[in-house]
Amino acid sequence: MQVTEVQTCSYSREKFTSEVDVAAVWCPDTGDYDSWICQLLCCLINSGSVHNELFQLLSPVCRIKVRPVY
């Protein structure tokens, strides 16, 4: 198992706005719901406003394609 180093967050309203206030984050032109929600969550997590280490570690996990088990 590879350990991912978590960077310390420094909240900046400008950084948050520049990363989150993008039309493509909220209304993507292509893709499905799974890829959209993944992109949205990663964008929010990486925006600098998340200070919880557990949530920061979820960003790489969100990028992994998970197949449903039925």
The predicted-structure confidence for 6-37, as pLDDT tens digits, reads as follows 555 556 788 888 888 888 888 888 778 878 88
pLDDT for position 65: 67
In a domain, 58, yes or no: yes
* Residue 33 located in a structural domain: yes
Helix (H/G/I), strand (E/B), else coil: 52: coil
Q: For the beta carbon of residue 53, count every other beta carbon within 10 angstroms.
A: 11
Residue 27 lies in a domain: yes
The beta-strand segments (E) located in the chain are none
Instruction: State how far Cα 36 lies from the chain centre.
Output: 10
Helix and strand totals (H; E) in the chain: 4, 0
How many domains is the chain partitioned into structurally?
Answer: 1
CB contact at 8 A, 14 and 47:
no
What is the reported pLDDT for 5? 56
Can you give the residue range of the structural domain that contains 56? Answer: 13-62
